[in-house]
């Protein structure tokens, strides 16, 4: 798994809204790269809603939330619509990004691990969240950032 202080691997993936998103395009803002197991599962839904419900706090602190899963673009789009997510969900169907970040065991993995990476404005890993509880993960990230 990638470690704090290392450069975040750049990527470009298809987003649920029909476009694509590259990490490089988000330079100048912090990025919370949120790997989620599968769209519309109970834990991922709870976690995603937490990010949605705290969206204004992330925005106020110049943090872009970006979800990544192995789901299809269509499944991610349905997930985002159903729960009114205002952040992009990216499809890493070939597992390349998850492997680069160490967020899955390898190309045969069925799901990515439940892990998030806070990437600073210059593209370096600032924090790794590898012990994620979907019930409080978004609030925990904010508490860390705000120093509460």
The residue-averaged pLDDT of 23-47 equals 96
CB 30 within 8 A of CB 142: no
pLDDT at 148 over 70: no
Q: Which domains does the chain have, with CATH numbers?
A: 26-146 (3.40.30.10)
Q: Which of 26, 31, 32, 44 is catalytic?
A: 44
With 0.85 as the threshold, say if the pTM is over it: yes
pLDDT at 145 over 90: no
Q: Which of 6-10, 31-35, 127-131, 142-146 has the lowest mean pLDDT?
A: 142-146
Q: Where are the beta strands (DSSP E) in 70-133?
A: 89-91, 115-119, 125-129
Beta-strand relationship, 30-35 and 63-69: parallel
44: annotated active-site residue: yes
């Amino acid at each position: 798994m990638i470690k704090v202080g290392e450069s975040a691997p750049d990527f470009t993936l298809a987003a649920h809204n029909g476009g694509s998103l590259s990490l490089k395009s988000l330079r100048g803002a912090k990025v919370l790269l949120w790997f989620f197991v599968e769209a519309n599962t109970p834990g991922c839904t709870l976690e995603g809603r937490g990010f949605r419900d705290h969206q204004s706090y992330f925005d106020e602190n110049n943090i872009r939330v970006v979800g990544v899963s192995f789901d299809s673009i269509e499944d991610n789009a349905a997930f985002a619509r159903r729960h009114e997510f205002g952040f992009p969900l990216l499809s890493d169907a070939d597992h390349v990004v998850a492997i680069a970040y160490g967020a899955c065991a390898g190309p045969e993995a069925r799901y990515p691990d439940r892990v998030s990476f806070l990437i600073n404005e210059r593209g370096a890993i600032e924090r790794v969240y590898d012990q994620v509880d979907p019930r409080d993960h978004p609030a925990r990230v904010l508490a860390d950032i705000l120093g509460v």
